[in-house]
C-alpha cells in the first residue's frame, strides 16, 4: 500500500476498441487529483500507444514483465504495492477470465493478483461475449470476492451488434474509483482493536472446553482495517491463520487472557470489533497433570468467564463497539437484545444453523443491526463481509456515535 500524500490509481488497459476511452478516464482521474499509473496488456498497445498514456500521466507506462531495468524494484510487485485503487477499463472477457482464475501471465494480471488494493473493473466486449454464461460466472465469482464492476452500457457496439457491452461512461468509472479511493484511507489515524477466534479453557494439560470459531472473519476485519490505514491490534484465540500484514497480533488461549489483553490495550482504541467466540464458562480448576481415563471425574465444575464486550459497554470503553451474535433462531431479535445488553453501536448477526455458511466456511450471510435499522449482507465471502463491516465502522466513527 502506498503511503504517499496523493492517492495512486493503477489503470489497467486491455485490448479492446474502447481502449481509446481509457485516455479520457486517465484525464478524469488526474483531474480528480489522483496520481495515475498505467499498465497495458500487449493487445492494448495495438489500439493505443504507451506514449499517449505516458504523456497524459507523466509517468512511465508498463507493458511487459521482462523489460525492467534490472536495478529497479520487481515491477509487478512495486505497482501492486503502490496502488491505492486498481481500475481495469476497458476489461476484456479474456482478462476477466484470467483474473477470476488467478492467472498471472502478463504485467497487468500479475499486478492484479499481487495487489491488496480494491479492484474496479469496467468491462467492454461484444454483447454475446458479455452475456455468455462463462463470462457471467467469472463476473459473479469476482463480485463475491469484492471486485467492483461498473456494468457495461447498452447501445450499438463496434462490431455492429446492438446490446450491452459498451464501456460504461468515463465519469461513472471515475466515480466508482473515487468511492474506492475514499474507502482505501478512511480508517487512517484510527486505532482499532479486534478480537477473533475461539478461546480454549483447559481442563487439564491436554483437554479443553472451547467454542467453534476459525477466526477467519476477525482476521479478515483486522487485515481490512489495516489496509484502510488503521493501527490494528488483533487479540486472537488459537487458530492456524497467519498474521495479517501490518497488524499487531496478540495470541492468547483463554478468556481470562483475552480479557487481560483487551483491557490492557483498549484505552487507546477508537473502536473495538469483538468477533471472538469467547467461552462463556471455564473449569473452576485446571488439573495440573493429565487426567487418565481410569480416573474420569464425576463432574467438572464450571465458573463464568468475564463478558469482555459487556464490560467494555458498561464502562463505556473502546469508542465504537461492534459485537457479534451467532444464533440459530430469531437472529434479529437476539441481535437487538445484544445491541442493548452490551451497549454496542452495531451487532453483526448470523444464523449458524446453515452448515454451508458461517463456522469454518469461506462465505457468510449476516445482518448488520444498529439502532437505526437492519441491513442484510446477502451471501458474501468473509473478506467482503469484512469490507462491509469496515464501511459501517468508518461511518460510525465519522458520525461520532455513542451507544
Ligand atoms: N463476548 C465477549 N466476552 C464473552 C462472551 C462474548 O466479549 N465472555 C462477545 C463476543 O465476542 C461477541 C458477543 O459478545 O461479540 C457475543 O455475545 P454472547 O453473549 O457470547 O453470545 P452468546 O454466547 O451467543 O449469548 P447467548 O448465550 O445469550 O445467546
Share of the chain above pLDDT 70, in %: 95
Last residue of a domain, one of 146, 163, 184: 184
Last residue of a domain, one of 124, 155, 184: 184
Cα angle 291, 294, 297 (rounded to 5 degrees) comes to: 55
Instruction: List the beta strands (DSSP E) in 284-365.
Output: 302-304, 320-327, 346-351, 363-364
**How many other β-carbons are positioned within 10 Å of the β-carbon of residue 74?**
13
Ligand 1 pocket test, candidate residues 263, 274, 331, 334, most atoms within 8 A of CB:
274
Q: How far apart are CA 45 and CA 63, in angstroms?
A: 8
Q: Is residue 366 domain-shared with residue 217, that is, in the same domain?
A: yes
231 occurs within a structural domain: yes
Q: How far apart are CA 176 and CA 178, in angstroms?
A: 5
Q: How far apart are CA 379 and CA 144, in angstroms?
A: 8
Which grid coordinates are listed for 283? 473449569
**Segment among 61-70, 219-228, 287-296, 309-318 with least mean pLDDT:** 61-70
Output the DSSP codes for 77-90.
Answer: HHHHHH-SEEEEEE
Cα angle 369, 375, 376 (rounded to 5 degrees) comes to: 110
Which grid coordinates are listed for 307? 463478558
Peptide bond before residue 362 is cis, with ω within 30 degrees of 0: no
CA-closest candidate to residue 201, choices 297, 305, 274, 299: 305
89 occurs within a structural domain: yes
- In this prediction, residue 134 carries a pLDDT of 98
- In this prediction, residue 144 carries a pLDDT of 84
Q: Is residue 136 domain-shared with residue 246, that is, in the same domain?
A: no
Q: Is residue 244 domain-shared with residue 335, that is, in the same domain?
A: yes
Q: Is residue 133 domain-shared with residue 166, that is, in the same domain?
A: yes
287 occurs within a structural domain: yes
- Atom number in ligand 1 closest to CA 279: 8
Ligand 1 pocket test, candidate residues 308, 344, 347, 389, most atoms within 8 A of CB:
308
Q: CA end-to-end span of the chain, whole Å? A: 33
Q: Cα 387 to the chain's mean position, in Å?
A: 4
Q: Is residue 175 domain-shared with residue 203, that is, in the same domain?
A: no
Q: Is residue 173 domain-shared with residue 219, that is, in the same domain?
A: no
- Atom number in ligand 1 closest to CA 275: 11
2 occurs within a structural domain: no
Confidence of residue 359 (pLDDT cuts 50, 70, 90): low
- In this prediction, residue 68 carries a pLDDT of 58
- Atom number in ligand 1 closest to CA 255: 8
Which grid coordinates are listed for 16? 479492446
**From atom 21 of ligand 1, which residue's Cα is the shortest distance away?**
325
Q: What is the DSSP letter of 223?
A: H
Last residue of a domain, one of 184, 205, 226: 184
Q: Is residue 91 domain-shared with residue 119, that is, in the same domain?
A: yes
Residue 21, pLDDT > 70, answer: yes
Distance from the alpha carbon of residue 287 to the mean position of ligand 1, in angstroms: 26
Q: Cα 252 to the chain's mean position, in Å?
A: 24
Q: Is residue 240 domain-shared with residue 282, that is, in the same domain?
A: yes
User: Tens digit of pLDDT for each residue in 39-74?
Assistant: 999 999 999 999 999 999 999 998 887 765 555 566
Confidence of residue 8 (pLDDT cuts 50, 70, 90): very high
Active site residue 159: yes
What is the value of pTM for the model shown?
A: 0.86
Contacts of 137 (CB under 8 A, 6+ apart): none
Which grid coordinates are listed for 227? 489496509
**CA torsion angle 129 135 139 145 (round to 10):** -150
CA-closest candidate to residue 321, choices 348, 343, 289, 295: 343
Cα angle 49, 54, 58 (rounded to 5 degrees) comes to: 170
Confidence of residue 403 (pLDDT cuts 50, 70, 90): low
Residue 210, pLDDT > 80, answer: yes
Which grid coordinates are listed for 158? 463496434
Q: Is residue 206 domain-shared with residue 175, that is, in the same domain?
A: no
Q: What is the CATH number for 361?
A: 3.40.50.10300
Pocket of ligand 1 (CB under 6 A): 195, 255, 274, 276, 278, 280, 305, 307-309, 323-326, 338
Q: Are strands 85-91 and 8-13 parallel, antiparallel or unpaired?
A: parallel
Q: Is residue 164 domain-shared with residue 206, that is, in the same domain?
A: no
User: Tens digit of pLDDT for each residue in 323-346?
Assistant: 999 988 999 999 999 999 999 999
Q: Is residue 351 domain-shared with residue 332, that is, in the same domain?
A: yes
Q: Which of 23, 86, 159, 390 is catalytic?
A: 159
Q: Is residue 106 domain-shared with residue 245, that is, in the same domain?
A: no
- In this prediction, residue 300 carries a pLDDT of 94
Q: What is the CATH number for 28?
A: 3.40.50.1950
Which grid coordinates are listed for 346? 452495531
Distance from the alpha carbon of residue 338 to the mean position of ligand 1, in angstroms: 8
**Segment among 176-180, 206-210, 249-253, 290-294 with least mean pLDDT:** 290-294
- In this prediction, residue 352 carries a pLDDT of 84
Which range of residues forms the domain containing residue 253? 191-398
Q: How many domains does the chain have?
A: 2
- In this prediction, residue 157 carries a pLDDT of 82
**From atom 18 of ligand 1, which residue's Cα is the shortest distance away?**
325
Amino acid at each position: 500500500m502506498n503511503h504517499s500524500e496523493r492517492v495512486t490509481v493503477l489503470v489497467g488497459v486491455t485490448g479492446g476498441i474502447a481502449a481509446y476511452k481509457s485516455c479520457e478516464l486517465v484525464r478524469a482521474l488526474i483531474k480528480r487529483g489522483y496520481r495515475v499509473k498505467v499498465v497495458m496488456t500487449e493487445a492494448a498497445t495495438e489500439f493505443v500507444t504507451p506514449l499517449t498514456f505516458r504523456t497524459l500521466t507523466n509517468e512511465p507506462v508498463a507493458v511487459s514483465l521482462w523489460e525492467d531495468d534490472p536495478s529497479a524494484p520487481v515491477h509487478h510487485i512495486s505497482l501492486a504495492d503502490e496502488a491505492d485503487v486498481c481500475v481495469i477499463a476497458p476489461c476484456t472477457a479474456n482478462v476477466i477470465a484470467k483474473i477470476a482464475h488467478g492467472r498471472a501471465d502478463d504485467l497487468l494480471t500479475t499486478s492484479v493478483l499481487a495487489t491488496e488494493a480494491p479492484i474496479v473493473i469496467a468491462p467492454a466486449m461484444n454483447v454475446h461475449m458479455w452475456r455468455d454464461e462463462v463470462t457471467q460466472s467469472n463476473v459473479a465469482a469476482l463480485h463475491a470476492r469484492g471486485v467492483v464492476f461498473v456494468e457495461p452500457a447498452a447501445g450499438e457496439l463496434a462490431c455492429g451488434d446492438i446490446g450491452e457491452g459498451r464501456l460504461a461512461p468515463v465519469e461513472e468509472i471515475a466515480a466508482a474509483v473515487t468511492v474506492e479511493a475514499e474507502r482505501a484511507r478512511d480508517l487512517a489515524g484510527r486505532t482499532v482493536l479486534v478480537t477473533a477466534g475461539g478461546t480454549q479453557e483447559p481442563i487439564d494439560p491436554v483437554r479443553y472446553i472451547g467454542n467453534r470459531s476459525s477466526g477467519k472473519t476477525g482476521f479478515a476485519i483486522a487485515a481490512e482495517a489495516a489496509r484502510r490505514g488503521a493501527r490494528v491490534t488483533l487479540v486472537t484465540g488459537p487458530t492456524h491463520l497467519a498474521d495479517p500484514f501490518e497488524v499487531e497480533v496478540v495470541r492468547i488461549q483463554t478468556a481470562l487472557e483475552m480479557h487481560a489483553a483487551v483491557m490492557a490495550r483498549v484505552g487507546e482504541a477508537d473502536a473495538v470489533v469483538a468477533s471472538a467466540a469467547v467461552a462463556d464458562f471455564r473449569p473452576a480448576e485446571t488439573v495440573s497433570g493429565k487426567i487418565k481415563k481410569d480416573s474420569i471425574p464425576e463432574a467438572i465444575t464450571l465458573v463464568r468467564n468475564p463478558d469482555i464486550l459487556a464490560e467494555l459497554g458498561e464502562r463505556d470503553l473502546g469508542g465504537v463497539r461492534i459485537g457479534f451474535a451467532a444464533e440459530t433462531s430469531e437472529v434479529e431479535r437476539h441481535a437487538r437484545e445484544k445491541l442493548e445488553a452490551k451497549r454496542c453501536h452495531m451487532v453483526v448477526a448470523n444464523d449458524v444453523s446453515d452448515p454451508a455458511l458461517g463456522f469454518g466456511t469461506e462465505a457468510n450471510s449476516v445482518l448488520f443491526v444498529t439502532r437505526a435499522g437492519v441491513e442484510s449482507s446477502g451471501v458474501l465471502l468473509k473478506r467482503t463481509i469484512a469490507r462491509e463491516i469496515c464501511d459501517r465502522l468508518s461511518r460510525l466513527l465519522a458520525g461520532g456515535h455513542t451507544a
